[in-house]
Structure formats: structure tokens, C-alpha cells
Amino acid sequence: MTNDLLVQYLAAFLFIMGTLVVILRRDTIMVLMGIELLLNAANLSLVGFSNSSHMIEGQMQVFFVITIAAAESAIGLSILVNLYRNFGSIKTEMATTLKG
Amino acid sequence: MLSPVIVILASISAILAVMMLVSKNAVTSALALLGILIMTAGIYGLIGEHLVATIQLVVYAGAIMVLFVFSIMLLNLNKLEPAFGLKPMVFMGVTAVGLLIGGVLMKALYSHFTIHHANRVMGPFSQENVKSLGGNSKVLSFALFSQYYISFEVISLALLTALVGAVVLAKRKID
Amino acid sequence: MAETMNSSLPLLILLSPLIGFFINGVIMPLVYRGFAKTPANTAGGIATFFIGLSFVMALIVFVTLKGDSSHDPSLVINCFEWFNFGGLNIPFELRIDKLSGLLVMIITGIGTLIHLYSISYMHEEECVGRYFSYLNLFCFNMLLLVMGNNLALLFFGWEGVGLCSYLLIGFWYSDTEKANAGKKAFIVNRIGDLGFLIGMFLLFRELGTLSLTGISELLHNPEVVARITPSATLICLSLFVGATGKSAQLPLYVWLPDAMSGPTPVSALIHAATMVTAGVYMIARLNPLFELSPVALSVVAHVGAITALFAGTIAIAQTDIKKVLAYSTVSQLGFMFLACGVGAYQTAVFHLMTHAFFKALLFLGSGSVIHACSGEQDMTKMGNLKKYLPHTHLTMLIGSLAISGIPFFSGFFSKDEILYSAIALPNGISYLFIIGVLTAALTALYTGRMMALTFYGTERLSHDVKHHLHESPALMTFPLYVLAFLAAAGGFLGVPHLLGDYLGHMPHFLSHWLDPVVPTKHMPLMAVKLPLHEAVVMIGSSVIAIVSYFAGVKLFSKVMFITDLIPGIAPLQKLLSNKYYVDELYDKIVVTPVRKIAEFSSGIVDKYVFDGAVNGVGRGVKWVSSGLRVIQTGDIQTYGIMMMLGILLTIFFIFKVFI
Amino acid sequence: MDSTSTILSWIIFTPLIFALLALVSPSFMETRLRTLTLIQTLVSAVLGIILYLQFDGASAQMQLVQFVPWLPDWGINYRLGIDGISLPLVMLTAFISPLAILGTWPHGELKKEKFFVALIMALQAGMYGTFLATDMFLFYFFWEVVLIPMFFMIGIWGGKDRIYATVKFFLYTMVGSLLMLVAIFWLIHSSTEFFGQPTASLAQLSEMKFAFDGSSLSSVFSSPQTYLFLAFALAFVIKVPMVPFHTWLPDAHVQAPTVGSVFLAAVLLKLGTYGLMRIAIPMFPQAAYYFSTMFIILGVIGIIYGAFCALSQTDFKKLVAYSSVSHMGYIMVGLFSFQKVAIAGSLYQMINHGISAGGLFMIVGFLYERLHTRNLNEFGGLAKIVPLMAIGFMIVTLSSVALPGSNGFVGEFPILLGAFQVHPMLVLFAGTGVILGAIYALKAYQMVMLGPQTTSHDVSHLHDLDGKEITAMVVLALFVFGIGFFPKTFFGKSDATLENYGTTLIEKSGNP
Amino acid sequence: MNLLEIFPLTSLTSDELFSLFPFFVLSFGAVVALLVGTHKTKGRGFAFLASFGCLFYSMIVGAAKLFANDINLLHGTLEMNSYSRSLNLILMLISMISIVVTYGQDKKEGLLPEVYSLILFATVGMMLMVSTSHLLFMFIALEIMSLPIYVLVAMRRTSRFSSEAGMKYFILGGLSSAFLLYGGALIFGATGSFDLLTISNRVAETQPSLIYYIGLGLITVAMLFKVGAFPFHGWLPDVYQGAATNVTGFMSAGVKLTAFMAFAKISQHLVYNETVAGLHWFHSFIWFIAAASMIYGNFVAISQTGLKRMLSYSTIAHTGYLLLGLMVLRRGVEDSRALILYLFFYALANLGAFAVISVFEEKNQKDLTLDQIAGIGSKHPILSTLFTIFLLSMAGIPLTSGFIGKYGLFSTAVNAGEIPLVVIAVLTSVVSVYYYLRVIVYLFMKEPTSEMATYQRLKGPTIAALISALATLEFGLFPKAIISFVRMFAR
């Protein structure tokens, strides 16, 4: 059991947690947070791997991923606002007019 | 040689993650996420990735979380109805599947680290090399502007898109 | 033996009625702007001219054909290639030898007379043009049937005459009965034709040719004979099925009585003189083949004999004059087949000829009677017409005497010869002879009855019929007289030895003349104490004939049915007058089932099985589809869960390989 | 082979050119469209005659071939050619089309006539193409293209249940042809292995041998030839149609406008048998021979079953449709009997059925135009009023009951004769079709023409055939009796091909 | 040692500059469109012109430099060779058509002028995605492609459907891209590189550990999500239905092509790599997914009454067929020809079909139903004929390019011995024929109903439909040119 493995374990756990949040929580804001968590987990694992094998690719990517995450959350939140405007709520089960 | 601090940080963030999943209040969850991010930053720091840790704190823990909390307040979503609209069976099932996948993942990681990790491809940037080259930040910055300029340039498109998109979607006036 | 003369005369004989058909069927309507518009005399004149023309030509050819019994100067002319591919070669070849020549003479000759007769018989009908064109077309097909030097051509004519009889029987088509009669005739014939086809196929498989010349040549070759003998029975029987259809033998005779709903001249020409004898002609023509199969021959003989008796019995209880004649035709044809069956082909042909004479005569006579009685056919409504229709009476009397086999009329010689050969020939069978004698008696009886009911006894005419009663015009009586002469004298072409010697007349002239084509079988009894046997048969039969004929005349000038004399047999009478309920039987066992099957197959099978399967698939797809679309709940969680399961699946697939 | 002659392309593309003409034709042409179509069909017929004259009956080879590279990468090229098998069918198409136009045009105003005309022309182009293509891909291309105009014809101008009928027609054919497509892929793929580079030329493809082992059932179903054959055969027998794949036909016929029915019966069905004759049987002879008995049995069932179904119909058009099922059964029997005579007979039967069925549908059309019903019970005794129609009807009836002297006999006699040499019992059964055929044909004739005059319609003022219809029927009658008496004259040019075809087929099929 | 030696600051050669030129031009154009779009009244027109012009210009440049020498920037971060250049060209064509479709549509649907610049951004993302062979750069490109599309989908701001669709797409898209990222991380962990080529070489040298395969599995899942294969298809019908129709067209054409090309590249390098052992699971997995997608898509499409939704299900089915094409890939790009052809022809048909639909849609309408188009063929023969052509092309009937595409795809599959799957494909495509035909039946053979759709008089979509129809027929009848073109660049 080493730090690297621990970090990877943590990353994996966070990743699963994030997935569960995205799938299980029913209000969009939580779901967005879940996605952030997912990205963060991925970052963690990237950094862990790259660090453990004395590389810097991982860290470099993390910068971009973080930026992307920022952009994504911005768009996500604006979509959420839009959803709120149209449905008066951000519950996902509200927005099920398209089905079948 | 497992460093206890990392263990502590990891376990805290794990607990926070669970909290985030189950908590009824969005703000609580947001704060839990914040916690996780900060813990992650801490771990980055401890394994010697200072620049990443800083950026993690600034961008993530700073900007993004503020954004979230702000929009929670904006749409005053802090009081949420029952969190999971799912039948308990389904909930348990999904969680079980998730954990199963997680377990498989961890097993794979374990085998990786026990079997293959030894003969992995090593890069030049061991801690001391980095030190000798003038520190983590310097190395990364050099790399950023020589090896990653394309990504660096391109990422601006993403940000611009985000900007435009946010404006387009959220702006009140409708013509 | 068949030297080919390059004379196109046979072709002209064949074509001339066809030309007549075209003129009456195509040109006249154009000239007169319409189908019903051609005047009777014009149409009749044209038709008669062309058939007469071919009669003349036939006469010329026939004269060139005469020759002694030794050789057969047959004309074979090849007109053009009909079929020729894949090893099937059927040239359009016409052949005139003594046999076909004789039949051509009969067809064209009697044909001409009947055309003449028809002119005045049909003159007040509409669409006479149609009628005469059909008649000509019939003559064409009939001539093709007898002249075709190839079974396929024979079949051509065979089906062609069937078509014409369909058209002519249904000439008054607006009457459903008559139309149905035509349809029935065609379809029953078709059943026979299938047998004929199968026979041809078998023959082709065995011999590889359908040409008559080829067949007869091959059958002179011993090892070919040896090869096909086993299958000969099958071939002959299936061909004979065709014959039973065309020549109205059991079990396919049912169409002929109904066919009487056609105009009477048609009955005379088609259903007495020519078409119905096609079967006899075919068997006589293929005699070398039939010789190979005693079984088939005896079947032919038995069917013939039984039919003869069967039809005779029916005839005796009929009241419709034409029905009587129809059944008598069936029974006479039975006689011919009996002759063929016992191997006396020449005798069959001989009887064919004489029968053509007297039966045509009788039909035309009855036509004249019906004409006179303004369409009345029921004999119970006639009687004592003798004094109104002298000519008709005279000619019909001769005819009836001929058919009954009163000595020295034509029927006497031919029938007598048949009876004689029924026992005298090697494969002759005595009980068939008995049947024959019985039938002969019956024939005389019902003919006498017919004469009596029609011409003698009390007058039973309804008033207005009586009012219009008149002797037929000369144009109708003339053919009657010609035929009467033939019916009376025709027999002298085949005088038996016994008399032949005394009459200083060359005995069995016709038979000897036909020898090269249809060889004689030598009669074993002929050598020893021949006169005695022949005398016995002859005298016996003539006595029977005379007795029963006059009995018939005498009895039935007073009463109409046997039941009136012997009340005990009323049920029998009923049975007979209903023709043994054969039509009803067929309706039960054939017609109804076919209709049922048809309704079943289109109503049930097609709708529910085949189509049901197809539509079922469609419905199944729709059902699955509506089932599948349920998982698209529109709720994002469902999709997420689906993805999760997808990942699980992936991992499962990965680990299936690794663990 | 290089492009020596372009006449085949002309035959294919003339209708298309006219179709474009019709589509762009200005509004005042609307009334002349029918004339335009007639002109087109006549032009095609003339081209057909020229083709017939150019064709050399002595040679069994593909003639007048044209070769234009199309998709050389995939071995696919625009290859056209004609031989004694396709010649009669092309001629049939060329002659039936003008007759159909003459005889069956609805008297009333037709909606969107422009498109109707264009579709008719496109349909012809497709049919010519299918008969003339000597490239597998091209063949499939045209084979599918034929569907589309027919689909629209039935669907837009059809009767009450037209949509059900047309969709059924399209899908049914689609199932078969898509499986055929897979088989085509397989063929071309193996051609890549066989010749080094892929080729879709029928000539080359038919040089390939596919393993076939008929020793046991398992071995049969483990040999590729079986699957290839079955895939092709399915596509074709659906088109023929062979029982039990026939159910689309009655619906399609009943719903289709008369022109459509005529083309469908006269030519489209022949695509199926042509496919069998050109591709399925000669390319996979052993498999074909192995399954021949099965197909003959199905054919015989088709003959009898179709006849029985026809027997109980009261809808005249349905009756004719089922009679088609019955008659096409003969062709199946002939093709799969592997006898030269029968194969030749089948080819003739294709033409003859085209003529007789076409004629019958024209008659149906005449009656429908005049009385607006197809119910046989509502006719009767018309012969007095419309004698010409009665005569025409009688003539096509004779041809359909295969009376000697009519063309029908020329087809059925050799088929039965040939098939009898190998399957006597089956032919005996098939022969009952001759009887049943007579029954339903005469029944139909009597119900329409004979008997007392019908009371369900006022038929006294019924007008007889007009000039165009007369022309159509006369030409038809000429064909009926011409072929009936002088088959050699009409089919002489096919002999060489048929001879060669039969010989090679029989020796390739391992037929003892 | 000196950092400059490790990270040398190289300057771009003119070749490299030229091959990056299209990206510059497009990004520039996007910004310009953004700016001119702010004009009060004619904003949309200007934005359209600007974006169209830039696209046109960059296409010319791209075409001119099509066969310039290959360049490879920063270990596969950008691989510009004739292959990727041509794909870029196709993508630019697609986005050009969809911009034309958007013109007119935008006013009707009340889309802001930014829509053009967003489309351009997305295009740049797509082009980057097909041009890179660097896993994480692929992630970035994917995001650059997806973010504008999230916005575009949600852009009918007053329509509940649109915002719902945007939400769904965003959430599930984010999830899937996270999978891609994490999968990339795992692969990186296993092999220590992001460059596909390097990875495949390393994998070939040493048997990778399990996380490599799991990472690959995650990436596969992400890709399958983007292309909308069966268990990951959930978003697709809803999003296609909810988005503005021009956007739907753009997605069904562009995103699909991009995702498939990326997927093809990944699987060519990481899976269909003879030297790597034990990747059969991938093959059988894709087999399963393909079959499931065909069956599911086609069967469910049957019971749809909305055209957009029906077409989206048919998209799932087509994904199945395309996966069939993916399975026959080998290392190198030869076999991707059939895939590219099919994708291109399918893109044309889809763009056209959705263009026609958009012509008949009301503002903020949920979907165009079959009843609405009943009997429209007699009122608008031209448009209906165009629509018919597109449907026939999707059904793969001859005369249309769809047939050529299907032919190429299936024959390639048969050559690779995938006959059972091809048979499934063929049988299910019979089902598809049924629902395509049903639309045609409604167009031409049904009687008009009361709620018959009204013609919206949109120039853009009509022109676009016309162009795509012509292209469809042209490639259907004379495919030689395009095929040899593909053959040329997919060398």
C-alpha cells in the first residue's frame, strides 16, 4: 500500500461517488456538482499516475481539465437557469415532457 | 511508506463524498464538495504538485464553488425536497452496481500497482530533478508554453464558448 | 410405305373451311357493320361453299388414293415447322392415307350436307354468321384431327373440336342452361384431354417421337416393341381416357346428352357423325400400339360394351327425341369401342361410317321434326306426324331401320360384323357378345319406340303447334334423302363372306381396302365351318332386331312407357328416366368437393394461413416496438442507470476474457 | 469487351428522357400526356424491333454488349448485353407497353397525370435495365429501381386499400432482395479471392465454383452454395410469386390501376423467373438441382392452389391475379425440371403469360371503366351488347387455358412434356391445373359475357371497345395466334442460347 | 541541465502554419460573427454572411492544402495529413450546410445571432477532434465541440422542450466526457502516455495491466454515448426532438461523424492492433452493441408519430450499422473508407431531411407529426420529393447515395466475415424500410387533415435541402468520384 495506490483508490472512490451523485440526485444543481466531482476525481488520478512515474503530462492536462470544468459549470448553470425559467423548478423529474 | 496525512485527507474526502451524495440540503452538499476539492488540493500539495494544488484551490475551490453557491442562492434552492425520487430497491441496486464497478476498479488498480507498476515507463521529472530544474512551477510553466501551446490556445475557445453560451442562455431580454 | 407426294391439296382441304371461318367471322361483320347482320343465306352460302370445296378436293385426293389392299399410297406433306427445340420436334405435317382419307370424306361430305341443311334450319336465327363460322372452324379442327401426322397435331384438332363444340352448344348463350351445357362439355373433355396428354408424354418418353409415321415405323422394330411393351398398357389406358372423354364413354359420357341443347344440325355433325368418333379413330390409328397391351384392349372392349348397354337402357326411357338419339349415339360408340377392344378395328371404322350416315340422318330428321313442331322436342307431345311430314317420315324410317340392324340396311352389316368379331376373334369374349346382342335388341326397341311416339299412334300435338305444323323445305329434305340413301346402301361396302359370295360382291370390301393401314386379324373360326357360325350370328341378330323393332313400334304406338305395360317396374323406369342419377352422383362426388376446396383455400388458407403469417409478423413487430419504447421514460435517471448498466456490461465483457 | 453498340442504353434511357420531358412539360401539354406516353412506348417498340434485327440468333453469346466503367474499385461496371434469354423478354416489354397504354388508359381525368406518366416511363426503364444488365450490381440496382414507380403507382392511384397493398408489396419484395444483397456481397467478395480483384460481371461470376456436397442434409447446409442459392432464390420466388410467398400479388393487383396491373402481371413477375433463369439456377447449379424437387413441388402446389383460389373468387381482378399465381407455377416447374424442352417452354411461358395475363387485365380494365365494378356477379349477358369485347375476352381466355393454336399451349406443352420425363407424378398433378384452369376461365367468361343480361347495372347503353382498345386487342390476338401457330418465327432467335444454356446447365448440375 | 533543452521552443514551419490555417480562420470567423451579430436589426444576416464567408474561405484553403505534406505537432496533439484534412473538409461542408439551414430558421425559432458563432466553435472542436491522436487533447476537443452544442440545444430559450433537452444532453454528456477523461487517466497510468501511437507501441511491447482495459472500456462507453449506441442512447431521441431542428441536423451529421471518426481512430490504434493480445472482448462487445442498436432503433422507430423522434431512433439504428463498419477496422485507415462514405452520405440525408422538417415546423413546436404532413405531397411536391429522396437514401434504396454507402459498408463487413451481423442488419433494415415508407405514404397517399402543417417560407433550409438532395442523387448515380476521393486520402 503506497501513497500512489491510496491516491488512485481515492480517485476511483470519488469517481464512483460522482457517478452516483449524477445518477441518483434529482435536482440539477446537485447533478452539476456531481460532474465537478467526477472531473476532480479524474484529475486526482491523472496527477497521481503522472507523479508516481515522474512525469508532468498529467499535471499539464489537469490545468486544462480544470479550465474545461470551469467552462462546463458555467454553461451548466446557465442551462439550469434556463430550465428554472421554463419549468419553475430544477427537479429532473419535472422535465420529462420528451419521452416514448 | 504511506504518509498518514494523506490517509487522513483521503478518508475525510471520502466521508465528505458520501455526505455529498446523501445530504438533503444543497448548500451542505456544495460545502462537502468544496471540502473534497480542498482535500484534493492538499493531497496535490503533499505529493509535491504545488502549482496544481494552487490552481485547484484558486479555480475550483474559489471560482467554481462560488458560482455554485451563488446560483443556489439565486434560485434559492437551498431547501430541497426528498433527495432521491427513486424506489429504494432501485436506489440500492444502482448503488450496488456503482460499488461493484468501484470494487472492480480498485482491484484492477491494486493488481496494476502490485504487478505492473514496477516496470512502468519512468519520466525524467523525479522530485530531485524537478528541484534541480528550479521547482515544480517553473517546470510546468516551461512545459505549458512549449509543449502544450496548442491546448493552451484552444482552451480559450472553450472559455469563449462558455462566456457566449452563458450570456445567450441566461440573458433576460428575449428578442 | 408412306411416300411423300408434294401435293398441297391436303393443305387446301384443311384450309378451305378456315378461310370460310375467316370470311364469316371477320370479313362479313366488317362488310355488314356488325355481327348479327350477315344474312343467313349469305353466311350459309359462303360456309357451304368452302366446306363443299374441300369435299371436292377430298374427293380428288381420295380417288388418287384408291389402290388395292396391298399397299397404302399415303400422302404426307410437311407444311412448316411447328415446334422444334430441345429435342422436341413437331413439324406441321398432314397425312392422308386410306383411313384418314375415309374420315375426311365422311367429315367433308356429311359436313356439306349439314351446312346445306343448316341454311334453312337456322334462317330465322340471329347471328347466323357466328353459327356458320363456328361450323367451318369445327370442320377445320376435325380435319386437322384426322389429317395430322403427329399426336400433337391430333391433339390440336382434338382440343379445337372441343372448343367448337363448346361454342356451338352454347350458341344460344343467353340461356344459362345451354351455356352451362357448353361449359360442361368443354371441361369434361378437358379431363379426358389430360389423360391424352399424359399418354403423349409417356409415349414421348418411350419413343422420343410423337409423329404417327415415326411411331408406326418404330413399332415395326422388334426391340423397340420389346422395350415399350411393359409401359404400353399405361400409355394405351391414358390415351383411352382421352377417348372416353371425347367419344362419350363411361365414365365421361355425361356431357353428350346435355350437348343436345345446341342447334340440331350441330348435334348431327359434331355429336353424332364426326367429333365423337375421334376416339375410335385415334385407337384405330394407334392400333399397333394397342396391340401391345391385351389388358388395355380388354378394358376398351369392356368399357365399350358396358357403355353400349348402359346408354341403351337409358335411351329407352327418354321422352326428349334428341336425348334418345344422344343416348343411342353413346351406345353405338360403345359398339365401336367394343369392336376396337376385340381388335376388329376395321369393323369399328366400318360401323363408324355407317353410324355417321344413319345417325346424322336421324338427327337431321329429328331436327326437321322439331322444326316442324316449332321447337317442340318432347315426343309425348307428338305422334302421328307421319301424315304431316311424309319426307321426314320416310327418311327417318330408313334411318331407324338402319340403326336397328334390319337386314340389308347399313347398320345390319356393321353391327352384325361387330357382334361376330366379339366372339370370333382371338381376344373376343363371349359375354361381351351377349351384351352386344342385348344392346342390339335394345337399340331396335327404343328406335322403334321413337318412331312410334313420333310418327305413329295418337296425335298429341298442342293446338298452336299443330297450327304451324308444316313439312320442312327442300333445302332440308334434300340432305335427308342423300343420307337416307347412304344409310340404306352404305352397308354394302362391308358385306360378310356368307352373303358376299352369293351377292357376287367382293366381300369385306372396306376392310380389305383398309388393310394396309389397319391390318385385319385373321378370324380363326373363319377357316372351319365358317358359314355356320356366321349364319347363326347373322340370322339370330337379324331376327332379334326385327322382332324388337316391330315390337317397339307396335307397343309404343299405344303407350308411351314400359311401365304402362308392366306396372311392376315403375322404380326401374324412374331410375332410367333419371339416367341412373349419374349427374347427381357426379355433382356430389366431384363438383361439390371442388367448390368446397376452392372456397376453403381462398377463404381460409389464403386469408388466415399465408396472409395471416405475413400480417402476424407485422403485428409482432409493432407489439415489440411498443414494448421497447417503454424504457424511454424521458427521466434522465433512467438513462443514467442504463449507462451504468452499460458500463457493467463492458466490464463483464472485459472480465469474461480475463477472469 | 468494349462498348461496341449503344442501342441497349438507348432502350433503357429513352423512357427516362421522355419522363423528364413529361415532368417539365408545360400545363397546356397536360391533355397531350397520354399521346406523349404512347409516342414513348412506340419509340421503345421501334428500338426493340431494331434490336431484334441486330440480334444474331445463331450465337449463344451476350451480344451488343456495352461496357462503361462505373465503380471499377469495387469491380462494378455499367455492363449491358443481351442474349436469347433476355431478348424475348425485352421484346415483350417493348410490345406490351404500347398496348397497355392504348388499352388501359382511364377514360376520366387522372389526378397528377404528369407524375403518373413519368412513373410509367421510369418503370419501363427499370424493367429494360433489369433484363439487359449483365453486371450483378447493375442488375440489383435496376431490380430495386423497378419497385419505386410501382410503389407510387399503386399507392397514389390505387383503389381503396391501396396503402396496405403497396406497402406489403414493397416490404415483401424488400425482404427477399436485401437477403439477395448479402449474397451478392458474398459473391463479389469471393470473386476477389477467385480473380484477384473484385468483379460483379455476371459472366465472370458464373465461372466461379462454390463448394457443394449433396451427400447428406448436414453437408448440404454446410456448403456455401446452398445459402447463396437460397438467398437468391428467395428474392426471386417472392417476385414470381411462388406459393407461399404469393399473398402480396392479389392485393397489389386488385388495388393497382389497370396500367399498373398490366405491367405487373405482364413484365414484373417475369423479373423473378428471369432472375432464377439468369442467376440463381446457372450460378449455383448443384444446389439448384438438389432443391429442384422441392421447388417443383411448390410450383405444382402453386398451380393447383392458385387455380383453386381463382375458382372461388368473385372479384374479377383477384381471379386473374390468382390465375397468374397458377400460371407462374408452370414456369417454376419447367425451370427446375432441368430439361431442355421444359426450360425452353418456361421461357416461352414467360412471354405467353405476359400476353394472356396482360390481355385479361385489359379486359378487366375495359369492364371497370364502363361499369365501375369488378364483381363477377354483377356482370352477365354482355356478349350481345359488346360483341367485340366478348371476342377479345374469348381470345385471351383461350390463350390462358392453353388451347393448342394459342400461345399458351406453346408454353405449357413443352414444360409439362419436359418435366414429365423426370417427375411424372408431379406433372400429373400439375396437369389437373389444366382442367381447373379451364374451369375458372370459362366460369369467368360465362359470368361476364354469357347467360341472361345482368340486372344490377343498366348495360343497355354500354359502348363497345373504341378504336384504341380494338387496336390493342387485335395486336394481342395476332400475338396469341401468331405464337400459337408459328412459335419458331417468334422464338427462333433464342434457340442457340437455350440449347447452350440447357447443355451447360445440365452438365454443371451433375444431373445424370 | 537546462529546461530549454527538455522543452525546446520550436517555431512553426509554413506547412504547419498553413495546415492550422483553417482553425485560425474559423475561430476568427466565429468571433467576427459574434461581433457583427450584435447589430440591432440585421444581426442575423451579418452573422450568417460572416460565418458562411469564413467557412467558405477556410474550405478553399483546406482544399488547396489537402495533399500538403503530413505534419505531426507535439507528439500527435495535431496530426494533419490528407486523411484528417479531408475529414475537416467534410466537417466544414456539413457545418456550412447547417449554417445555411440555420439561416431563416433562426428568426423563426428566435435563436440569437450567436448561433452562428456557436456552430463555428463546435465545428472547430470537431475538426480538432478528428485531427488529433492525443487522448486528452481529444477530451479537450470533445469539450470544445460539446459545449457549444449544449448551448445550441438549449437555445430555443422559450421552449420547455429545448431547455429540457439541453439539460439532459448536458448532464449525460458531462458524465460521458468524464468517463472519457478518467479512461484516459487509467490508460495513461497503465502506459504512461497519451499519444495513441505510443500507447499502442507500448502495449505491443508489454502486456498491459487490467486498468488499461478498463480505461479502454470507459473510453469506449464515452464514445458509444456520443454516437448514441443502444444502452447509452437515452439522451438521443429526447435531445434530437427538443433541439431546434437545424441544430438536430447539425448534431446528427457533424457530431456523429466526428465521434465515429475519433472512435475509429482509437479502436484502430488501441484495439485492432494485431500485436495486442486479448482484445476479443471489444469485438464481441461491439457486436452485441451493434446488434442491439439496430434492433432497438429500428423497432422503436416504428411506433413513433413524430418525424424528428422517428428519425432520431433511426439514427440509433444507423449507429448500429456504422458500428458494423467499425468492427472491420484494422490498424491503419484503409478500411475506414466504407465508414467515411456511409457517414458522409448519411450526414447529407439527415441534414436534408431535418432541413425539410424545419421548413414545416411552427415556432417552438415539439415535433412534426405524421398527421401534419398527410397529403402535403400534393401541396408542396418539390419539398416532398426532396424529403422522399432523403428517406430513400436512409433506407438504402438505389438511385440514392444511401444505397452506395450501405453497399460499401455491408460488403466490407461481409468481406470481414461478419455475415450473421450483416444478416441482422439487413433484416432490421427491412423494418426501417417500413417506417420510412410510412412517411412517404403519408406525404403522397393520405388525404390532407385539418392540422396540416403550414409552409414557413424559409429560404435557407429549402436551398440546403435542394443541395443535399442533388448531392445525394449525384453520389448515388455516379459514386466513382467520391469513392476514389476517399480512396485517395484514406491511403
C-alpha cell read off for E99: 449554417
pLDDT tens profile D327-348: 999 999 999 998 889 999 999 9
- pLDDT computed for residue C658 by the predictor: 59
CA distances E394 to B141, E342, E351, E390, E476, Å, are: 51, 10, 11, 6, 12
pLDDT tens profile C121-140: 888 887 888 889 999 999 99
pLDDT for C416 beyond 90: no
Residue E454 contacts D, CB cutoff 8 Å? no
pLDDT tens profile E327-382: 888 655 567 888 899 999 999 999 999 999 999 988 888 888 898 999 888 888 89
CA distances A26 to A22, B20, B80, C50, Å, are: 8, 13, 10, 103
Closest CA to D435 of C139, C144, C590: C590
- pLDDT computed for residue D1 by the predictor: 43
Where is average pLDDT lowest: B152-156, D214-218, D285-289, E419-423?
D214-218
Residue B63 contacts A, CB cutoff 8 Å? yes
Contact E480 D178 (CB under 8 A): no
Least Cα separation, residue E118 to chain A (angstroms): 13
Contact A100 C635 (CB under 8 A): no
pLDDT tier for residue E70 given thresholds of 50, 70 and 90: confident
pLDDT tier for residue C332 given thresholds of 50, 70 and 90: very high
| Closest CB to C650 among E285, E302, E434 | E285
Among residues 388-427 of chain E, which lie with CB inside 8 Å of chain D?
392, 397-399, 403, 407-408, 410-411, 413-415, 419, 422-423, 426-427
The residue length of chain A stands at: 100
Residue C647 contacts B, CB cutoff 8 Å? yes
b/e map of B7-43 (b: 16 or more CB within 10 Å)? eebbeebbebbebbbbbeebbebbbbbbbbbbbbbbb
Mean pLDDT along residues D61-66? 87
**Which residue did the predictor score with more confidence, D73 or A86?**
A86
pLDDT tens profile B78-88: 565 555 666 78
- pLDDT computed for residue C620 by the predictor: 92
How far is residue D426's CA from residue D407's CA, in Å, rounded to a whole number?
23
pLDDT tier for residue B126 given thresholds of 50, 70 and 90: confident
Test the B interface: residue of E19, E71, E74, E155 with most B CBs within 10 Å: E74
User: What is the ipTM score, two decimals?
Assistant: 0.90
pLDDT tens profile E239-289: 999 999 999 999 999 999 999 999 998 888 888 776 666 677 888 899 999
Chain mean pLDDT for chain E = 89
- Strand pairing partners for C96? C75
Mean pLDDT along residues D196-222? 86
Minimum CA–CA partner of E75 in chain B: B147
pLDDT tens profile D479-495: 999 999 999 888 888 88
Residues 6+ apart with CB under 8 A from D46: none
Q: Is the dihedral of CA C57, C58, C61, C66 positive or negative?
A: negative
Taking each helix axis from N to C terminus, what angle separates C222-246 and C151-169, rounded to the nearest 10 degrees?
A: 0
**Which residue did the predictor score with more confidence, E295 or D159?**
E295
Give the torsion through C-alpha atoms of E61, E67, E71, E77, to 10 deg: 70
Q: Is the dihedral of CA C594, C596, C599, C602 positive or negative?
A: negative
Residue A93 contacts C, CB cutoff 8 Å? yes
pLDDT tier for residue D25 given thresholds of 50, 70 and 90: confident
Radius of gyration of chain C (CA): 31
CB C219 within 8 A of CB C225: yes
How far is residue E317's CA from residue E329's CA, in Å, rounded to a whole number?
20
How far is residue D49's CA from residue D42's CA, in Å, rounded to a whole number?
10
- pLDDT computed for residue D113 by the predictor: 83
Contact D156 E445 (CB under 8 A): yes
pLDDT tier for residue E93 given thresholds of 50, 70 and 90: very high
pLDDT tens profile D259-298: 899 999 999 999 999 999 999 999 999 899 999 999 999 9
Among residues 112-141 of chain E, which lie with CB inside 8 Å of chain B?
112, 114, 117-118, 121, 124-125, 128, 137, 140-141
- pLDDT computed for residue E346 by the predictor: 93
**Which residue did the predictor score with more confidence, D137 or C423?**
D137
- pLDDT computed for residue D73 by the predictor: 80
DSSP at D29:
G
DSSP at D278:
I
Mean pLDDT along residues C410-430? 80
Residues of C in contact with D488 (CB under 8 A): 80-84
How far is residue E212's CA from residue C654's CA, in Å, rounded to a whole number?
11
Chains with ≥3 Cβ pairs under 8 A against D? C, E
Can you say how many angstroms the Cα of residue C337 is from the centroid of all Cα atoms in its chain? 12
Mean pLDDT along residues C274-283? 91
Chains B and C touch each other (3 or more Cβ pairs < 8 A): yes
Q: Do strands D63-71 and C88-96 pair parallel, antiparallel, or not at all (unpaired)?
A: unpaired
- pLDDT computed for residue C583 by the predictor: 87
CB D404 within 8 A of CB C156: yes
Contact A31 E171 (CB under 8 A): yes
3-state DSSP helix/strand/coil percent for chain A, to nearest 5? 80, 0, 20
CB C596 within 8 A of CB C589: no
**Which residue did the predictor score with more confidence, B146 or C520?**
B146
pLDDT tier for residue C3 given thresholds of 50, 70 and 90: very low
Can you say how many angstroms the Cα of residue B82 is from the centroid of all Cα atoms in its chain? 26
pLDDT tens profile C199-243: 999 999 888 888 888 888 888 888 888 888 888 899 999 999 999
pLDDT tens profile E142-171: 999 999 999 999 988 888 899 999 999 999
How far is residue D3's CA from residue D452's CA, in Å, rounded to a whole number?
62
E71 sits in which H/E element = strand E71-73
| Closest CB to E237 among C632, C638, C647 | C632
pLDDT for C523 beyond 60: no
Residues 6+ apart with CB under 8 A from A52: A3, A4, A7, B117, B120
- pLDDT computed for residue D212 by the predictor: 85
Q: What pTM value is reported for the model?
A: 0.91
pLDDT tier for residue E137 given thresholds of 50, 70 and 90: very high
Test the E interface: residue of C614, C625, C658 with most E CBs within 10 Å: C625
Q: Where are the alpha helices (H) located in C559-610, listed in sequence order?
A: 562-565, 570-577, 582-586, 592-600
Closest CA to B79 of B23, B146, B163: B23
Q: Do strands C75-85 and D63-71 pair parallel, antiparallel, or not at all (unpaired)?
A: unpaired
- pLDDT computed for residue C500 by the predictor: 59
How far is residue B99's CA from residue B96's CA, in Å, rounded to a whole number?
5
Place of cell 471489444: E282
Residues of A in contact with C641 (CB under 8 A): 23
Least Cα separation, residue A94 to chain B (angstroms): 11
- pLDDT computed for residue C377 by the predictor: 85
- pLDDT computed for residue C556 by the predictor: 83
Residues of C in contact with A100 (CB under 8 A): 629, 632, 634
pLDDT tier for residue B158 given thresholds of 50, 70 and 90: very high
**Which residue did the predictor score with more confidence, E390 or D459?**
E390
Closest CA to E437 of D236, D162, D130, D244: D162
Residues of E in contact with A28 (CB under 8 A): 167, 171
| Closest CB to E143 among A58, A61, A72 | A72
- pLDDT computed for residue C521 by the predictor: 65
pLDDT for D455 beyond 70: yes
Chain mean pLDDT for chain C = 85
